[in-house]
Amino acid sequence: MLLLNSIEVKDLTRRFGDFTAVDKISFSVKEGEIFGLLGPNGAGKTTTIKMLTTMLKPTSGKAEVCGYEATADPDSIRSSFGIVFQDPSLDNQLTGYENLDFHARLYGISKERKNPRIKEVLKLVGLENKKSLLVKNYSGGMCRRLEIARGLIHYPKVLFLDEPTLGLDAQARHTIWDYIKKLNQREGITIFLTTHYMEEADFLCQRVAIMDSGKILTLDSPENLKNAIHQDIISLEVSDGQKALETLREFNWIKEAKLHNGFLDLRVESGERKIPLLVALLQKENILITSVNLHRPTLEDVFLSFTGSTIREEEATPLDRARMVIRAQRKG
Amino acid sequence: MRLISLNVIYTLWLREMKRFLRAKSRIVGSIIQPLFFILILGTGFKSLGRFRGLPLGTDYLSFLVPGIMAMTILFSSMFAGISVLWDRQFGFLKEIMVAPVSRVSLVLGRIAGGMTTAIIQALLIFFISLFFGFRILHLLNLLPAFFIMLLIAVSFVGLGVALASRMEDIHGFQLVMNFIIMPIFFLSGALFPLEGLPGWLAKISYIDPLTYGVDALRGVLVGSFSFSLALDLTILLVFSLLMVAIATYLFNRCEV
C-alpha cells in the first residue's frame, strides 16, 4: 500500500441497548487532511470519535487509526493520536505547565525532550505567559488552547478535535481556527474534527461528512457539496425585467427565474460561471445591468436538502445549554 | 508497553502530591476529625473508668490512638480511591484513559498517591497524640507499624477505585460513606474491644478486614493483640492483593 489512509472506518456500528448511535458508517481520512464530521447533537459524532480513540468498544465493524485497529491494538493506536475532548478534561488544581508535564510523562517523553517540547507547544497556542497559572483561573478559550497543546506533545500523527469551539465566543473561535489551520499546514498533522457549526466545517475542512441519526448521509469537499445541490442564486438588477425574463426563458440551465422589484432571481448551477454568460446575453438585447449578486448555498442548505430540517432546529439539547453555562462561568 | 511502568506510577503519584500539598484546608480537615475522636471520645470514655475487655496495662487513650490511626487511613484511602469519580466529573479521567499505558499501572499509580497521603495523615495523628500522653512500646516498632499502615492503605484505595469504577457519578458517594466506610470503621474494634461483644456482633467484626489492621497496629504499637501478628498480616496481605486485582479488573472495564 503506497498511500496510507490515516483513518479507515468500515461498517462501524455502536448500539446502546435498542438504540443505534452509530449505524454501519464507512469512510476514510487521507494523511494530512482536515476532515470534518458535521451533524446535530445526538448524530453519533462523539460516539464515533470515542470508538476511534479506544474509549468505547464498537458493537461491530472496523476502526483503524494509522493502520492500527482500535480493538486489537489499543496501545499502538493510543500513542499515534492526540485528542481534544468535547468537555473540559484538564486538572484544575494544577498549573497549565503541570498539566502538560503530566501528559508528557505519561506518554513517556524523555527528560531531555520534555521541557523543550512543552515550551514549543505552549508557544504554538500562545500560552507561554500563562503556564504557571492554575488552570482553574483560565478562561474557556485558554483551556481549549491548552488542551490542543497537550494533545500535540507526543507528536501525534492524527489529532481528534471533538467540537473544538463549542461554547466559545466569536473571537476565541477564530483564534482556535487559526491554530488548527496552522497545525495542519506547518506540522502536517491529520485533523479529524466534529462540529455542528456549519461555518466551522466550511472554513476548516477539506472534506466533510454530514452525519444524522447515526448515518453518514453524504461526504465530499464543502465546495462540491454546495455545488451538488444546484442552489446558486444570481440576482440581477436590470432596466427591463420583463424583457430579460423573456430572453432567458429558453435556456434550460436556468432552473428557476423570478422577477421581483426590478430584480431578477435565477437559480442555476455553478453561478460564478454563468454570470459572464448572462451579461453577454442581456447586453445583446440592450438590457442594462445595474448590479449582479451571487448567493452561494451554505452547508446549512446542504444539510437541509439531505435531512429536510435545519441543523439549528435539531441542536441545543439541555446538556448543550449546561455546557455553555459552565464555559461562560469561567473567568475572562 | 510494560504491564507495570514505574514511570506511569510516579507520574500519577506526583500529581497527587502536588494536589495534596496545594490543598492546605484538605490537610487540616483530614486531621481535625481524628483529633476530635482522640480528644473528646478518648477523654470521655477514659472518665468512665476501665471497661471490660480492655487489655491489661493499657488505658483507653493508648487503646484508641492506633484505632484512630487506622480510621484515618481508611477514610483517606477510600477518598483517594473514589477520587476516580471526581476525575470523571471534571473530565480528567478521559485524559488518563486514552494514554498508551497499562491499566494496572494507572491503578497502582493512584494507590501509590492515595497511600502516601493516607500514611502522612496517620503519622501526623500519631505525633500529635504524643502530646496527649500516648506512648508506644519502642520507637523501632514504627517500622512494622508503617508496613501495616501500607497494607491497610493499599487495600482501601483499591476498594475505592473498584467502587468508583462501577459508579456513574458522585451521587453514589453518600451511599458508600454510609453503607461501606462507616460500618467498616465501627466494626473494626477501633473504638472498643471486640472481646466483650455479643457473639453476633463479634462474628460480623471478624469478616471486617480493617479489624485485622487495627489489631496489628495496636499490637505492634502498644503491645496488645486480640489475634496474632501472623494472622493479621496474612489476612491484610491477601485482602490487599485481592483489592488491587478487583480494582484493576473493574477499572479496565469502565467506559468514560
Q: Let me know if residue B176 belongs to a domain.
A: yes
Q: Give the chain B residue nearest A150 (alpha carbons).
A: B95
* Rg (alpha carbons) of chain A, rounded to whole number: 24
Cell of A144: 481549549
Domain count, chain B: 1
- Classify residue B170: in a domain, yes or no: yes
* A78-127 confidence digits (pLDDT tens): 999 999 999 899 999 999 999 999 999 999 999 999 999 999 999 988 99
Handedness of CA B103, B107, B112, B114 (dihedral sign): positive
Task: Provide the 3-class DSSP secondary structure of residue B135.
Answer: coil
CA–CA gap between residue A199 and residue B99 (Å, rounded): 32
Bridge partners (DSSP) listed for residue A110 = none
Nearest to B107 by CA among B203, B217, B13, B206: B13
Q: For A153-172, write each residue's pLDDT tens digit.
A: 999 999 999 999 987 888 88
Which neighbouring-strand residues pair with A212? Answer: A215
Place of cell 501500607: B150
Residues of chain B with pLDDT below 70 are 1, 51-57
pLDDT at A261 over 90: no
Report how far Cα B50 is from the mean position of its chain's Cα atoms: 28
- Please state, in angstroms and rounded to a whole number, the distance separating the CA atoms of residues A284 and A209: 44
Cβ of residue A53 closer than 8 Å to a chain B Cβ = yes
- Domains, chain A, ranges and CATH? 5-226 (3.40.50.300), 230-296 (3.30.70.980)
Q: Is the pLDDT of residue A2 over 60?
A: no
Q: Is residue B186 part of a domain?
A: yes
Q: Indicate whether A325 pLDDT > 70.
A: no
Position A187, amino acid: E
Residues of chain B found within 8 Å of residue A57, distances taken between Cβ atoms: 255
Residue A327 scores a pLDDT above 50: yes
Best probe of the A interface among B84, B92, B101, by most A CBs < 10 A, is B92
How high is the pLDDT of residue B1?
A: 57
Question: Within a domain: residue B246?
Answer: yes
pLDDT category, A331, cuts 50, 70, 90? very low
More confident residue, A249 or B8: B8
Is residue A4 very low, low, confident or very high in pLDDT (cuts 50, 70, 90)? confident
* Nearest partner of B160 among B55, B86, B62, B234, judged by Cα: B86
Q: What is the pLDDT of residue A1?
A: 44
Q: Is there a domain that residue B54 lies in?
A: yes
Contact A88, A126 (CB under 8 A): no
Question: pLDDT per residue over A209-230, tens digit each?
Answer: 999 999 999 999 998 888 877 7
pLDDT at B83: 92
Give B186's contacts (C-beta < 8 A, 6+ positions apart): none
**pLDDT single digits (tens) A23-53:** 999 999 999 999 999 998 889 999 999 999 9
- For residue A315, the model assigns a pLDDT of 55
What pLDDT is recorded for position A247? 86
B1 belongs to a structural domain: no
Q: What pLDDT was estimated at residue B19?
A: 94
Across the interface, whether the CB atoms of B255 and A87 are under 8 A apart is answered: no
- Nearest CB partner across the interface for A55, out of B15, B18, B94: B94
Report d(CA B71, CA B125) in Å as an integer: 11
- Is B249 part of a structural domain of the chain? yes
* Interatomic CA distance for residues A127 and A96, integer angstroms: 9
Nearest C-alpha neighbor of B21 from the set B153, B121, B152, B109:
B121
CB contact under 8 A, A105 and B1: no
Residues 197-256 of B with CB under 8 A from A: 255-256
The residue type found at B77 is S
- Whether residues A76 and B100 touch (CB distance < 8 A) is answered with yes
Cell of A66: 494509522
**What is the count of residue pairs from A and B with beta carbons less than 8 Å apart?**
67
Chain A CB contacts of B10 under 8 Å are: 105
As a whole number, the mean pLDDT across chain A is: 88
pTM above 0.95, yes or no: no
Q: B7 and A108 in contact by Cβ < 8 A?
A: yes
Predicted pLDDT at B251: 94
> Does B142 fall in a domain?
yes
Please answer yes or no on whether B98 and A94 come within 8 Å at the CB atom.
Answer: no
Supply the pLDDT for residue B181.
94
pLDDT band for position A60 (50/70/90)?
very high
Could you list the residue range(s) of the whole structural domain that residue B195 is in? 6-253
Neighbour-count burial for A256-265, b at 16+ CB within 10 Å, e otherwise: ebeeeeeebe
Query: What is the CB-side half-sphere exposure of residue B236 using CA atoms within 13 A?
Result: 25
